[in-house]
């Protein structure tokens, strides 16, 4: 179920030109998308017996590279889909073969692809991120963890309630399974994690990189085909200045998702999801920055307090000095009076 907006094609083909699948029990309603290079076309159809809507993915034998791994890609996709039971992964329905190619049927979800020109508020993008991460948590908790390997805007559908659906498991692999040479670096440039480009083993952190790149495209309103515009000379996603309105904490989370070395990313989707949930998307201060500001404020108050105490101490010292001078003067005057035997005059003097 793949809508390849990347190739700039959406079908408006006359109904009569659609392939006839009536003998297999299905009638095409419209074409959803096409990937000419891979020889795949996707149709929306309904089952003639149940009127259930389904998606038919066509694999054209003549269009793909005549390689065993290429011809059998759909078999691996079916094998993986048959293991899965998640409400936001369209389930496998059926398959059949004709002289033109192979056809795989999946459940239809009424949700457009993120590959279409759609704009979302940063808070909505966080909600989409949470929804996709929940799917990845499910995939990674399988007895044999599944790595999707091709997460990008075109392979994520989002409905009006911001529920995300993950599609196109054509490149998916079970963690640790051996891959043929032709399957290495088979993802989409810009969304492919660095370890895949260099043939290193993939981990649960590999799909996190692709999801992070997808979220950055949504935040910067960058189309998939233009993702190269936000890559620097070292092929790192350089997006910080493009989305100044997001909070530093959310920005840090994104940067960790797309770290070049997988060891520097979150280890898996469950951890990334747990960290993301409490993070505010919009704002100028992180919790740490708020704490530092509070400490600075209290420190300033403390310093002001010390200054006030110091001022009082100085004033007190001056007062004591003044009082001491007065006392000393009185003592001298008393002694002077005594020496002159004029006590009464001294008393009068002191009263004045």
pLDDT digits (tens, 9 = 90+) for 288-327: 544 443 344 344 444 444 444 454 444 444 444 444 454 3
Question: The whole model's pTM is what?
Answer: 0.74
CA 71 to chain centre: 34
* 225 in Cβ contact with 267 (< 8 Å): no
Residue 27 lies in a domain: yes
Please tell me whether residues 172 and 267 are part of one structural domain: yes
Residues in the chain: 352
pLDDT digits (tens, 9 = 90+) for 178-216: 554 444 456 688 999 999 988 888 999 999 999 999 999
Last residue of a domain, one of 107, 135, 150: 107
* pLDDT score of 266 more than 50: yes
Active site residue 232: no
Last residue of a domain, one of 263, 284, 305: 284
Question: Using CA atoms in the order 90, 91, 94, 95, what is the torsion angle rounded to 10 degrees?
Answer: 60
Please tell me whether residues 10 and 101 are part of one structural domain: yes
- Answer with the residue of higher pLDDT: 6 or 179: 179
Domain that holds residue 333: 289-351
> Quick one: pLDDT at residue 100?
83
Please tell me whether residues 134 and 280 are part of one structural domain: yes
Please tell me whether residues 37 and 153 are part of one structural domain: no
Please tell me whether residues 144 and 266 are part of one structural domain: yes
Query: Cα(116)–Cα(153) distance, rounded to whole angstroms?
Result: 8
How many structural domains is the chain composed of?
3
Write the CB contacts of 218 (distance below 8 Å, at least 6 apart in sequence): 114, 120, 125, 128, 153
Among residues 4, 94, 150, 348, which one is catalytic?
150
Confidence band of 238 (pLDDT split at 50, 70, 90)? confident
Q: What is the largest CA-CA distance in the chain?
A: 142
Query: Cα(256)–Cα(208) distance, rounded to whole angstroms?
Result: 9
Residue 115 lies in a domain: no
CA distances (Å), 70 to each of 15, 38, 307, in order? 30, 9, 78
What average pLDDT does this structure show over 7-26?
Answer: 68
Quick check: helix, strand or coil at residue 82? coil
Please tell me whether residues 65 and 136 are part of one structural domain: no
Phi-psi region of 190 (alpha: psi -120 to 50; beta: other; left: phi over 0): left
Query: Among positive and negative, which fits the CA dihedral 309, 312, 317, 323?
Result: negative
Please tell me whether residues 324 and 261 are part of one structural domain: no
Please tell me whether residues 269 and 298 are part of one structural domain: no
pLDDT digits (tens, 9 = 90+) for 38-69: 678 999 999 999 989 999 999 886 554 444 44
Please tell me whether residues 156 and 214 are part of one structural domain: yes
* Cβ-based neighbour number of residue 261 at 10 Å: 10
Query: Cα(111)–Cα(99) distance, rounded to whole angstroms?
Result: 32
End-to-end CA separation in angstroms for the chain: 108
Residue 339 lies in a domain: yes
Integer-rounded Cα radius of gyration of the chain: 37
């Amino acid at each position: 179920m793949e809508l390849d907006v990347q190739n700039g094609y959406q079908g408006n083909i006359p109904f009569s030109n659609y392939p006839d699948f009536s003998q297999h029990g299905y009638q095409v309603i419209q074409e959803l998308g096409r990937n000419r290079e891979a020889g795949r076309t996707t149709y929306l159809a309904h089952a003639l017996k149940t009127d259930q809507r389904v998606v038919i993915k066509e694999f054209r034998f003549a269009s793909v590279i005549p390689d065993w791994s290429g011809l059998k890609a759909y078999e691996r996709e079916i094998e993986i889909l048959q293991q899965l039971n998640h409400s936001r992964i369209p389930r496998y329905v059926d398959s059949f073969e004709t002289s033109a190619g192979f056809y795989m049927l999946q459940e239809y979800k009424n949700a457009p692809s993120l590959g279409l020109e759609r704009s979302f508020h940063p808070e909505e993008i966080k909600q989409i991120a949470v929804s996709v991460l929940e799917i990845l948590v499910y995939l990674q908790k399988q007895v044999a963890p599944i790595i999707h390997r091709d997460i990008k805007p075109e392979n994520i559908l989002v409905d009006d309630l911001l529920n995300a659906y993950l599609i196109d498991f054509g490149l998916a692999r079970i963690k640790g399974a051996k891959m043929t040479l032709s399957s290495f670096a088979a993802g989409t440039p810009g969304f492919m994690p660095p370890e895949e480009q260099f043939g290193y083993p993939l981990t649960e952190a590999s799909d996190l990189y692709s999801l992070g790149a997808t979220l950055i495209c949504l935040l910067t309103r960058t189309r998939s085909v233009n993702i190269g515009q936000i890559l620097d000379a070292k092929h790192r996603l350089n997006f910080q200045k493009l989305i100044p309105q997001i909070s530093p904490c959310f920005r840090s989370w994104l940067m960790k998702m797309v770290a070049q070395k997988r060891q520097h990313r979150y280890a898996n989707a469950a951890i990334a999801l747990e960290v993301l949930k409490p993070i505010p998307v919009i704002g100028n201060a992180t919790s740490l920055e708020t704490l530092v500001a509070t400490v600075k404020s209290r420190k300033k108050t403390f310093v002001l307090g010390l200054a006030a105490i110091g001022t009082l101490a100085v004033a007190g010292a001056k007062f004591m000095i003044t009082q001491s001078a007065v006392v000393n003067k009185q003592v001298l005057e008393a002694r002077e009076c005594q020496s002159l035997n004029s006590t009464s005059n001294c008393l009068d003097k002191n009263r004045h």
